[in-house]
Amino acid sequence: MNRKRWLALLLFLMVALLVVGLGRLTQSRETDHPWRETTLYGRGEKVVLLEVAGSIPAGKDLEDLLSKIRQAQEDQSIRAAVLFVDSPGGSVTETEAIHRALKGLAQAKPLVAAFGTVAASGGYYVATAAREIFTPATAITGSIGVIATLPQVQGLLAKLGVQVKVLKEGRLKDMGSGLRPLTPEEQAILQGYMREAYRLFLARVSEGRRLSPERVRLLADGRIYSGAQAIALGLADREGYLEDAARRAAELAGLAEFRLVRYKKPKGLLDELLGESFPLGLSSETEQLVSLLGRKGFRLEYRYLGGGLW
């Protein structure tokens, strides 16, 4: 590499470090309340909108949602919360983490849930933390159960002439790898793991909806219900939409009038100059594709597959 290229590279690195440094210096200093509020409509005391849209979030998206829930719980100026759910569900562990955080919020102030088009499986699971659930009559909900998909690729590899040698210590170490069929013993082990997650789902519905365990088990065969059916079965409370749920949350908080607010991350100078994503990073679409390609192995999910695998 000649001298000009070295100088150009050095200049580029200096500019990048300067921009990152400015971004850190200009971040919001409000550590107690990292999320800024924006008013959606209304006036008066505040009801905050929390959203679970798409698959149950993981990673940084999960951290952000839990942070919003925590801020809504701790901020005394927030009088109530409404949870909008439009999700087919997702990973078991992340779903339970969201439910647990929402339960803490619901113990501190009124929390009412509103369904979008789909609030099934894990989407329904998180909503059971709310005091009341509103649903459109035609929404898809229910799908109470656990699922795991385990692709079997040994046949494809054989056709391609690819052989994989697995070295292991521990008889069951490669269980569920997809490189060979499960043995009856291995399937029984994984089924037991799923049964534990299923029982947890039943317990959350029983507790949240104030239904007997026996009643919940009858409803929890994995089938979907319309919003109207869910109301008739006790899985939801009222027919309605987000605005109805927000109004009910305000009513439970004793508010004659309210304004609905949403959290958004405050922008520093770096964000204002460059927008939401750093230009040298991956686009959100690329990140999603990389994440999808990186998934492998046995994965327990509270997911309605009619809402898509991913």
**Residue 77 annotated in active site:** no
| CA torsion, ordered 71, 73, 78, 81, to nearest 10 deg | 110
Per annotation, catalytic residue among 173, 277, 283, 284: 173
Task: Give every CB contact of residue 22 below 8 A, 6+ residues apart in sequence.
Answer: 268, 269, 270
CA angle, residues 25, 28, 32, in degrees to nearest 5? 130
| CA torsion, ordered 134, 139, 140, 142, to nearest 10 deg | 20
Burial (CB < 10 A; 0-12, 13-18, 19+), residue 192, is exposed
Residue 241 half-sphere exposure toward CB, CA atoms < 13 A: 3
Helix ranges (H only) for the chain are 3-25, 59-74, 92-108, 122-127, 154-159, 184-209, 213-219, 227-233, 242-252, 269-274, 284-294
Q: Angle formed by the axes of helices 92-108 and 184-209, to 10°?
A: 20
Please give the structure tokens belonging to residue 140: 């898809």
Per annotation, catalytic residue among 91, 121, 177, 206: 121
**Residue 4 annotated in active site:** no
Cβ–Cβ < 8 Å for 106, 253: no
- Cα distances (angstroms) measured from residue 310 to each of 106, 204, 227, 240: 29, 24, 23, 28
236 φ, ψ (degrees, to nearest 5): -145, 170
Q: Note the Cα 60 to chain centre separation in Å.
A: 11
- Residues taking part in catalysis: 121, 173
